[in-house]
Amino acid sequence: MQASTEAMEPELTARHLDREGGLQSLVWELIDRLGEDPARDGLVDTPDRVERSLKSLTSGYHKNPAELLRGALFDVEYDEMVLVKDIELYSLCEHHLLPFFGTAHVPYLPQGKVIGLSKVARVVDVYSRRLQVQERLTTEIAEAIEQAINPAGVAVVIEARHLCMMMRGVQKQESSTMTSCMKGSFRNPETRNEFLSLIQKQSS
């Protein structure tokens, strides 16, 4: 169903023209090309809603994780494992722009500095609020923490479910994907196993 500007009410035509050149105009055209009427009552405000939604879901592009961490570093003599687990994450698959969501577990072994606990979760948010693949997301979180405090080791494990597999393609609703990045001391089997046993106990 093609919606021509001649057929639209004057107010709707003006609102559409105001969007030209911006994200809302692209959404308006997408709705039209999918065979719907973007001037229909239920859709007329959809371009605005989609624009605000996408800006929120990709807000990580406008945040600097290094600056975020720099303001929350503390000198300590603690050198045992710090583990922030069950960090909820929501992201968009860069291949289909469909969501994937799950949890991240982030441990590290400090060497003189620790990070404010909430900042670990915020780093996960910064990188997940971008167009992503889970593998890169996992590595980026680990590297940001490694660069910020030079720990003896840092690791990230993410378990997520991808709507691009659940809603389309193979349509496997119960599938999930696990990725991990182990750096420094977490490449040592003893340290790695200690971490994995901690998150497995929680999950059981």
Q: What pLDDT sits at residue 2?
A: 45
Active site residue 62: no
Please provide the average confidence, as pLDDT, over all residues in the chain.
90
10-57 and 61-203 have identical folds: no
Question: Catalytic: which of 95, 173, 200, 202?
Answer: 95
Q: Looking at 143, 146, 164, 194, which residue is catalytic?
A: 164
Which pLDDT score, from 0 to 100, does residue 21 have? 64
Instruction: Render the chain in DSSP notation, one character per residue.
Output: ----TTTS-HHHHHHHHHTTTSHHHHHHHHHHHTT--TTSTTTTTHHHHHHHHHHHHTGGGG--HHHHHHTTEEE----S-EEEEEEEEEEEETTT--EEEEEEEEEEE-SSEEE-HHHHHHHHHHHHSSEE-HHHHHHHHHHHHHHHH--SEEEEEEEEEEHHHHTSTT--TT--EEEEEEEEGGGSHHHHHHHHHHHHHHH-
Catalytic residue among 96, 111, 146, 194: 96
Q: Is 134 a catalytic residue?
A: yes
**pLDDT tens per residue, range 27-65:** 999 999 999 999 999 999 999 999 999 999 999 999 999
Q: Is 159 a catalytic residue?
A: no
Share of the chain above pLDDT 90, in %: 80
Q: Is 111 a catalytic residue?
A: no
| 80-114 per-position pLDDT tens digit | 999 999 999 999 999 999 999 999 999 999 999 99
Q: So where are the chain's domains? A: 10-57, 61-203
Please check the confidence at residue 1 and state whether its pLDDT lies above 70.
no
Q: How confident is the model at residue 204 (pLDDT cuts 50, 70, 90)?
A: very low
How much is the pTM? 0.86
Assign domain 10-57 one CATH number from 1.20.120, 1.10.1060, 1.10.286, 1.10.3470.
1.10.286
Is residue 16 among the annotated active site residues?
no
Q: Which CATH architecture has domain 61-203?
A: 2-Layer Sandwich (3.30)
Q: Which of 9, 88, 94, 135 is catalytic?
A: 94
In the set 93, 105, 132, 140, the catalytic residue is 93
Is residue 14 over pLDDT 80? no
